[in-house]
């Protein structure tokens, strides 16, 4: 999104403003499909659950990874116009409920849809068998998350050594296990995580086959990194490695799924905010914005991400501190942002802020979330 267009949109809609570029969403999805032709992309709705974003990916042919009933219903709303048999086929083939832990009430609501769901422990099998027996199951494995920005292995995943016992237990409870899944951690820049996870998975496939269980699919999860800066390895390099390993270890007809979220939406969104306060503290220039970590910049708290600020004006820069509008000192966007000297009322912007950001906005201190504007729909 070029600065001139951002300024025009800010003048038209006011600030704080979040601008979603659907052309970039479509380009990111097409890049994923082109570079990983065997892999069906199940967009991780939790990354940004805006219904307009879900609609764009739906129109592009994406499948969906949901992790709550609310997310499931956002996707289901897109297919309500289909005949019942087509709706059920879509739910079975193009939605995975990838939260390994589900409340009983959720399972009861999901069961009529005959969903594909993940699990990673014995208690979850018992719950599913009692409350959602029409589900198909995918066993989530514990795999290395070394170096990923958000580590998930401490919370989810069955030990590979007990995996086939968990498959057998599900079978004994009259449930069908369709395959395996794993997650290497969000914003994974350590490509070895993927290769190690694939080797663990192929070993489980082999043991399962030896014990009479025929697994049909592998879900390689998320973790595909957004290009926040040049320290992030190129997606093309990751895709080349994955294609080679998938063809070697999991030849057709094994179905390959993935759950990209951040990779698809991060670069499609830009935030624009206004300077509402200015001071010098300890010799450092400080700016206060009408957006902060309780709104669009929430990813800095919940996602361990840093969204750097840019000015619309040229000129010499200096290290500045930038804060959000609330009375909480936690509402700190950055302490070493490089910005020029600016006046009250001027605007700044942050790029690559589409994942785990505005989706987590709150009304803390009474400050509402930024207005969202969609372009190139």
Give SS3 for 137. strand
CA distances from 46 to 103, 218, 354 (A): 18, 21, 11
Neighbours of 110 (CB within 10 A): 22
Residue 307 near residue 300 (C-beta atoms within 8 A)? yes
Give SS3 for 8. helix
Which of these, 168, 49, 170, 32, lies nearest to 100 by C-alpha position?
170
Give SS3 for 164. helix
Compute the distance between CA of residue 84 and CA of residue 91 in angstroms, rounded to an integer: 11
- Please indicate whether residue 327 is annotated as part of the active site: yes
Compute the distance between CA of residue 57 and CA of residue 71 in angstroms, rounded to an integer: 14
User: Which ranges in the chain belong to alpha helices (H)?
Assistant: 3-13, 22-35, 51-60, 69-76, 84-94, 104-110, 122-131, 163-172, 192-210, 235-249, 262-265, 299-302
Compute the distance between CA of residue 116 and CA of residue 93 in angstroms, rounded to an integer: 8
Query: Which of the following is catalytic: 188, 286, 320, 327?
Result: 327
Which residues are the active-site residues? 327
């Amino acid at each position: 999104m070029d600065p001139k267009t951002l300024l025009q949109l800010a003048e038209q809609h006011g600030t704080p403003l979040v601008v979603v570029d659907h052309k970039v969403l479509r380009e990111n999805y097409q890049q994923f499909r082109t570079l990983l032709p065997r892999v069906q992309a199940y967009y991780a709705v939790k990354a940004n659950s805006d219904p307009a974003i879900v609609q764009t990916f739906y129109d592009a042919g994406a499948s969906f990874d949901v992790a709550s009933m609310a997310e499931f219903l956002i996707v289901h709303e897109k297919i309500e116009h289909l005949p019942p048999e087509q709706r059920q086929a879509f739910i079975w083939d193009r939605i995975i409920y990838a939260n390994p832990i589900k409340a009983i009430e959720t399972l009861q609501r999901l069961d009529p849809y005959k969903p594909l769901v993940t699990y990673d422990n014995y208690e979850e099998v018992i719950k599913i068998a009692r409350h959602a027996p029409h589900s198909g199951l995918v066993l989530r494995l514990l795999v290395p998350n070394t170096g990923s920005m958000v580590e998930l292995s401490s919370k989810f995943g069955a030990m590979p050594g007990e995996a086939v016992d968990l498959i057998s237990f599900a079978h004994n409870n009259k449930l069908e296990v369709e395959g395996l899944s794993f997650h290497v951690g969000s914003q994974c820049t350590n490509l070895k995580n993927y290769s190690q996870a694939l080797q663990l998975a192929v070993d489980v496939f082999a043991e399962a086959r030896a014990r009479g269980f025929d697994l049909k699919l592998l879900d390689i999860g998320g973790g595909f990194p957004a290009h926040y800066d040049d320290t992030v390895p190129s997606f093309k390099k990751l895709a080349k490695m994955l294609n080679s390993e998938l063809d070697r270890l999991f030849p057709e007809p094994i179905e390959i799924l993935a759950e990209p979220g951040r990779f698809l939406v991060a670069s499609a969104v830009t935030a624009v905010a206004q300077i509402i306060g200015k001071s010098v503290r300890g010799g450092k220039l400080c700016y206060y914005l009408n957006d902060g970590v309780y709104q669009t910049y929430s990813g800095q708290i919940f996602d361990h991400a840093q969204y750097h600020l840019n000015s619309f004006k040229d000129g010499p820069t200096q290290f500045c501190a930038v804060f959000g509008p609330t009375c909480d000192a936690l509402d700190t966007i950055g302490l070493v942002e490089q910005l020029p000297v600016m006046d009250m009322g001027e605007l700044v912007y942050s790029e690559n802020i589409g994942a785990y950001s505005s989706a987590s906005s709150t009304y803390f201190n009474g400050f509402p979330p930024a207005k969202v504007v969609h372009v190139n729909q």
